Structures are given as C-alpha cells and as structure tokens.
Amino acid sequence: MFTKNSIVGVIGSGAMGSGIAQVAATASHKVIVYDNNKDSLIKAEGNLKTSLQKLVAKEKITAEQQATVISNISFVNTLNDLAKCDLVIEAIVENLQIKKTVFSELEKLVSESCVLASNTSSLSITSIAAACSKPNRVIGIHFFNPATIMPLVEIIPGIATEENITTSCQALISSWGKVTVIAKDTPGFIVNRVARPFYSEALRIYEEGIADMATIDWAMKEIAGFKMGPFELMDMIGHDVNYVVTETVWTQMYFDPKFKPALTQKRLLEAGFLGKKSGKGFYNYAPDAKLPEPKKDVEIGKSIVKRILFMLINEAADTLYLKVATREDIDLAMTKGVNYPKGLLKWADELGVNLIVQELTALKGFYEEDRYRISPLLKQNFIMKKTFY
C-alpha cells in the first residue's frame, strides 16, 4: 500500500509532530507539516535544522543527508495543502472534540485511499474515527517522546479499522526503523496502562510514610535496575502530563480503583510545581538546592521493589488477560517504550508466580482495597503452575 514515494502529512508541529516529520523525512518520504499556528511552524523548522546540525556534528548523518531531510519537509499553514498525502498523522492538542473536527475536515480533502492516523496518547481511536464517513481508514499510530529517539510505536486499530490498513501501517512504520506493537483500542493502550503502578504504587508507599521519595527512587534504580526512579521520572515527564494521563486512564476505565490518581501528585499540579520544567516538583531543581539523600536500607528497598514491581506485573498480566496485546508485544512495549530493564511477563517467570501471588494476596488482605485485586491470569498460572512463556 505504501512506498517510499508515499507522501506523509503531519498535523501539528509541536514536540511530537515535528519529531514524527523528521523520522518520516529521514526514511526518504516527502513530508508536509501543517499547523494552525504560524509561530509553531517557524519554531519547528528552526528546531529541525538545529537537531539535524547536531547529528552532523556528531557524525551520525552526513551534510548531504541533512540537506535531503530538510528538502523532504515542507511547512504549510492550510489544511488544504495536505490533499495529496497518502498518510496523514495528526499530532495536535489532546482534545477529542478538536481532533474530531480536524479529522472530519481532513477526510473531505484527501483521496479515498489516504490513511488517517492519530498520535493520541489517551483518546479512543474509535471515537475519533466516528467523526469520519470512512472510519475504516482511521488508525492510531502512537509514537513516544522524543519520536526521533524512542524506538517504540504502538499501532492501534479502532473498531472499524480495516485489517489491511493496520498491516500496511505496521509495515511502513517498521520500515522507518521503529519497533511496532499492536494494541487494542483501550485506555492507555499498552505502555500508558501497564506503567501506571510504577507511579501510583510509589506514590502510595510515600503517602503511607513507608519510605521517602529519594529512598523509593534509589530502590527502583539500584535494586530493580530501572533507569530512573518513579519520582524523578514523574518530575521529568511533568505533572501536567503524567497526572493527566493517570486521571484520563482512571476516568475512561469507569473509575476502576486500580488506576486511581494520587492526591499528592494532584496538589503539585494545582500548585504549579510541574517538575523539572518549572524548577520544582517532588524535588527542588534550583541550582543551589540540595537533593535529599536516600536511606540505603536494603531490606526496605527490597520490599519497595517487590510492591511496585509486582503491581506492574499484575497490570501486565491483566493487559494480556484482556487481550489488549500479545505477551511479546507487552514485553517489547515496556522495554522499548519506557526503557524497563526487562519485559514484565518474562520477569514474572523468572521470579516465579508463587512469590508474586503471595505478595499481592498479602496486600489485598491487608488493605481490603480493590486496587490490589489479582489478575485472573496470574491466579490461573499460580493454580496450574504455568509460566507466561
């Protein structure tokens, strides 16, 4: 369906749209980037040049390749300019109504065969597609930030998406050098669903006073092998993004207590303490500020790791149980999308289901909260002495 000559349109020239455009142009496509904000287009063009210049300086690309990528991308300020595209990837503001309006305008301009994709992190592809008269050509193509660096792309067919659209999009994005996984159109898809306990269980441990933030971060890095601790990662992502994703997943899951956001994080958002970008979040990033020291107690560290890791495994198991994705794609998504040291289902097999079920049963028994309910798939594996692989 797609070839190197396929023209790719990108709507939105912000953080994601400009990254996606660069990826597609590097893969030799002609790319047309549209934004309704002229300043954003100017900024995106400047950023693209700076980013490519850095790659030339690091000898990752040649000056010739740099020139080709630049000449492959054009920046436009009318939607009509996308008429000749074969694929359009929308990366505008995360607002269902606005996205629906853009999709319904777009489908009237492009050819019958053009595929319309959304890079949404949390909205339903099916509901975006419902704004179109041909929802069978609408799909989710979800890149991770920064799109030029993160290898993972989730491909999300909506309920009406034709199978050949899904396979063609997967083949195309893989040909761009990305690792693709297929996810069912459910809140948070794979990564933004399975990763929730990394933040929420860490927040809960902190709220209960079991350990401070620095100790929790230390345990998850030093003992479990994660690249960043939950609190430093939330601060890096920004609470305006991370909290909002949690709240959106929780709301869309009909307020399932498993996904309930933490008040501690909400207060930070209310205060405007957004994390690194605002200079203050869980930690203080002022140049003269001293970061708190962790209490390096290995026993406490191990119990923190067990609780957070087993809740992550529980969510990965439930994601598999509910057929959101295959076990391979769930593991691939977490290692390639958010740099987890291991796939969670593989990790579960290494640790043994008995230990995980025992620990989760203890949490459920103690707190008597539905938040700690065990995935039926973990229970099945426990009873039948089965592994995920």
Ligand X SMILES: NC(=O)c1ccc[n+]([C@@H]2O[C@H](COP(=O)([O-])OP(=O)(O)OC[C@H]3O[C@@H](n4cnc5c(N)ncnc54)[C@H](O)[C@@H]3O)[C@@H](O)[C@H]2O)c1
Task: Give residues in contact with ligand X (CB under 6 A).
Answer: 11-17, 35-37, 40, 91-94, 98, 102, 119-121, 143-145
Give 11's Cβ-side CA count (13 Å radius).
28
- What 3-state class would DSSP assign to 46? helix
Hey, how many other C-beta atoms are within 10 angstroms of the C-beta on 362? 12
Taking the complex as a whole, how short is the minimal distance between the CB of residue 356 and ligand X, in angstroms? Answer: 30
CA distances from 150 to 144, 156, 240, 267, 349 (A): 6, 18, 21, 30, 27
Residue 154 annotated in active site: yes
| Length reported for the chain | 389
Is the Cβ of residue 47 or residue 68 nearer to ligand X in the bound state? 47
Catalytic pick among 72, 192, 242, 375:
192
Residue 242 annotated in active site: no
Is the Cβ of residue 91 or residue 138 nearer to ligand X in the bound state? 91
Is the Cβ of residue 158 or residue 294 nearer to ligand X in the bound state? 158
DSSP string, 214-264: HHHHHIIIIIT--SS-HHHHHHHH-HHHHHHHHHHHHHHTTT-GGGPPPHH
Please state, in angstroms and rounded to a whole number, the distance separating the CA atoms of residues 162 and 232.
41
Is the Cβ of residue 234 or residue 377 nearer to ligand X in the bound state? 234
Taking the complex as a whole, how short is the minimal distance between the CB of residue 144 and ligand X, in angstroms? Answer: 6
Catalytic pick among 40, 121, 242, 314:
121
Residue 95 annotated in active site: no
Taking the complex as a whole, how short is the minimal distance between the CB of residue 142 and ligand X, in angstroms? Answer: 6
Is the Cβ of residue 92 or residue 190 nearer to ligand X in the bound state? 92
Taking the complex as a whole, how short is the minimal distance between the CB of residue 80 and ligand X, in angstroms? Answer: 13
- Helices (DSSP H) in 73-134: which residue ranges? 96-109, 125-129
Please state, in angstroms and rounded to a whole number, the distance separating the CA atoms of residues 298 and 219.
8
Query: Which DSSP state fits 273?
Result: -
Is the Cβ of residue 17 or residue 229 nearer to ligand X in the bound state? 17
**Cα(first)–Cα(last) distance of the chain, in Å?**
34
Residue type, 23: V
Catalytic pick among 13, 124, 142, 200:
142
Taking the complex as a whole, how short is the minimal distance between the CB of residue 192 and ligand X, in angstroms? Answer: 9
Please state, in angstroms and rounded to a whole number, the distance separating the CA atoms of residues 245 and 261.
9
Peptide bond into 230 cis (omega under 30): no
Taking the complex as a whole, how short is the minimal distance between the CB of residue 130 and ligand X, in angstroms? Answer: 17
Residue 270 annotated in active site: no
Structure tokens at 305: 């790791």
Residues belonging to the active site: 121, 142, 154, 192
